[in-house]
Amino acid sequence: MGSCACLMTFQSFTKPLVLSQMRAQSKGKKVTYFDAKYYNKDSVLALAGDRGFGNAHEQSMFFVPLYWMHAMLVDDRSRLMPLACLYGATRMLYPAAALMNKERGMKKFKLVFAATVPGYGVLGYLTYGLYKYATS
């Protein structure tokens, strides 16, 4: 949950920075905060902030219940701590991967994929553990 809070903070701080960049490049046109904050697909920084938080938030709805059910029913939670750290770290890498993709000119988000797949692996492991518990 701490990673979600960090990503939400990152998302919030990207918008004023994007706004100042947009105003510097506007050549006299009026640029509002709304222009920078909502539906801004031109700024990679804004997109990285939005998608980083969005991805972590979307996945946390699955991770948190699976993690706690697994900890209570299947395994001691202290043995699950490395998985939770891996999961949180990969969520934190998502916006950095999105930024590096753009800087390196990669078109298919290979780094974003690499930051996302370990999280799916953790979710799969937790789900499989609960499945084994339920069928034993």
Report the pLDDT averaged over residues 86-103.
Answer: 80
Instruction: Show the tokens assigned to 99.
Output: 């930024």
**Chain CA centroid to CA 136, Å:** 35
Q: How confident is the model at residue 128 (pLDDT cuts 50, 70, 90)?
A: very high
Q: Find out whether 95 and 47 touch, Cβ atoms under 8 Å.
A: no
| Residue-wise pLDDT tens digits, 29-83 | 777 766 666 666 677 777 777 778 878 888 888 988 998 898 888 876 667 888 8
Residue 28 pLDDT > 60: yes
Q: Tell me what pLDDT residue 54 has.
A: 79
